[in-house]
Amino acid sequence: PELTGLFTFYAANYPQYEMIIDNQVAMQKGVSIGKAIDNLNILIGSTYEQGFIRFGRFFKVFAQAAPEYRRYPTDLTDLFVKNEEGEMVPYSSFMRFEKRLGPNEITRYNMYNSAAIRGLPAGGYTSGDAITAIQEVARETLPRGYDIAWEGLSYDEAQRGNEALIIFLVVLIFVYLVLAAQYESFVLPLAVLLSLPVGVLGSFLMLKAMGLANDVYAQIGIIMLIGLLGKNAVLIVEFAVQKQRAGATILEATIEGAKARFRPILMTSFAFVAGLIPLVVASGAGAIGNRTIGSSALGGMLVGTVIGVLVIPGLYFVFANLIKGRTLINDEWDEPISEEFVRKDREGSATRETVSRLRAKLKDLLNLKKDQ
């Protein structure tokens, strides 16, 4: 069921005549087998000798036997070939013809006799599924001494195997390291990365519903989808991190990040989905490619956005609690230089102060006064 449109030009029961040459008789008559075959090719087929110009036009000259001498297969036995002594020897004296069934053509692949079979993946199956199905059938049915080989894009895909999966993993690791440097934590980037599989699942569900294959077009759409969903997650997490660094609790920062970025994320995501609708309903030449890339991106964006705005804040809350009180880099001075000043006491000693520290001291004094 993984394949459709299978066809081959190979036929082992093609009616044909086989020329059987008696080499010993040919040698006795002084006939060279190579010259005899070449002469037969000229008589039955044709060969271009030369041309001439006449009446201002160029005429080509072909050497070939007259039609009445090559009308039937039995006419070949009435033809002659010149031996080494210049005598005319009939083909019937050292050659006979037998009617048999055999292949219509002989093709070779890497010096081995071969038969080419061509086809396409069936609806809902990828080229990888088709390659796997062919390998399983060949392993179970082909006798000893037979094997399969690939050509064209199928050869590249079979050789590369899971190369695309490795590339995706390398890209995710690179993005993880960039986010770890930005958030100064090895845990917070997981809140962004773990929200992406939901969108990828929606992309595959949309492709399945539309009856489309997971081909190169679908993978391009998934790559674009991962970038956009990652951007939405970064918006929520980044805003929550800023709120938490400003003094808010983890729960407050999570709620504020979800509320502040909820409307912008929905507006940009649904605008993107609306722009993909013409691709999903495309028709005409190249419609399959347009529908595939549009469906993969549309389904993933819908599912990833609707579920992501609910999942991402929860993921941030969980991972932020895991690293509560721990950061990758602790800066000694986290205030801008413009907010720092030097205060001198009565004895003349200088002390570096910041606006935030003075605010904290003032807040402590006010709380102490209220308690008194």
pLDDT at 175: 86
Calculated CA dihedral for residues 21, 23, 29, 34, nearest 10 degrees: 70
pLDDT at 356: 64
Task: Say if residue 278 is in the same domain as residue 347.
Answer: no
Distance CA 278, CA 294 (A): 8
pLDDT grade for 58, boundaries at 50, 70 and 90: very high
Task: Say if residue 192 is in the same domain as residue 273.
Answer: yes
Residue 230's alpha-carbon distances to 169, 214, 221, in angstroms, are: 15, 21, 14
- 338 has a pLDDT exceeding 70: no
- 336 has a pLDDT exceeding 70: no
Q: Which residues contact 218 (CB under 8 A, 6 or more apart)?
A: 203, 207, 212, 292, 293, 295, 296
What is the token pair recorded at 144?
Answer: 């000893």
Domain final residue, candidates 144, 161, 178? 161
Task: Say if residue 144 is in the same domain as residue 283.
Answer: no
pLDDT grade for 329, boundaries at 50, 70 and 90: very low
State which residues form the domain around 145.
1-15+103-161
- The whole-model pTM stands at 0.55
Task: Say if residue 256 is in the same domain as residue 182.
Answer: yes
Question: Quick check: is 364 in a domain?
Answer: yes
In tens, the pLDDT along 346-360 reads: 555 555 566 666 677
Amino acid at 271: A
- What are the two backbone dihedrals, phi and then psi, of residue 179, each rounded to the nearest 5 degrees? -65, -35
Instruction: Write the CATH number for 199.
Output: 1.20.1640.10
In tens, the pLDDT along 178-198 reads: 888 888 888 888 988 888 888
- 332 has a pLDDT exceeding 50: no
Distance CA 130, CA 140 (A): 16
> What's the chain's average pLDDT?
83
Residue 318's alpha-carbon distances to 190, 258, 356, in angstroms, are: 10, 14, 29
Residue 103's alpha-carbon distances to 115, 116, 282, 337, 341, in angstroms, are: 10, 13, 44, 87, 96
Question: Quick check: is 332 in a domain?
Answer: no
Question: Quick check: is 329 in a domain?
Answer: no
Task: Say if residue 168 is in the same domain as residue 313.
Answer: yes
Task: Say if residue 259 is in the same domain as residue 124.
Answer: no
Question: Quick check: is 255 in a domain?
Answer: yes
Instruction: Mark 66-78 as b/e (b = at least 16 C-beta within 10 Å).
Output: eeeebeeeeebee
Mean predicted confidence (pLDDT) in 124-141 = 85
Task: Say if residue 77 is in the same domain as residue 140.
Answer: no
Query: Tokens 């190169």, residue?
Result: 216
Question: Quick check: is 328 in a domain?
Answer: no
Amino acid at 95: M
Task: Say if residue 303 is in the same domain as residue 244.
Answer: yes
Task: Say if residue 56 is in the same domain as residue 152.
Answer: no
Among the listed residues 119, 325, 295, 298, the one whose alpha carbon sits nearest the alpha carbon of residue 215: 295
SS3 assignment, position 64 = coil
What is the token pair recorded at 340?
Answer: 């720092």
Tally of domains within the chain = 4
Q: Which helix (H) or strand (E) holds 58?
A: strand 57-63
The DSSP letter of residue 16 is E
Task: Say if residue 74 is in the same domain as residue 145.
Answer: no
Task: Say if residue 89 is in the same domain as residue 109.
Answer: no
- 369 has a pLDDT exceeding 90: no
- 306 has a pLDDT exceeding 80: yes
Question: Quick check: is 128 in a domain?
Answer: yes
Task: Say if residue 57 is in the same domain as residue 154.
Answer: no
- 71 has a pLDDT exceeding 90: no
pLDDT at 299: 92
SS3 assignment, position 90 = strand
- 152 has a pLDDT exceeding 70: yes
Number of Cβ atoms within 10 Å of the Cβ of 130: 20
- What are the two backbone dihedrals, phi and then psi, of residue 218, each rounded to the nearest 5 degrees? -65, -40
Residues forming a β-bridge with 118: 7
Distance CA 114, CA 106 (A): 8
In tens, the pLDDT along 280-299 reads: 888 888 788 889 899 999 99
**Percent of the chain with pLDDT strictly greater than 70:** 89
- 328 has a pLDDT exceeding 50: no
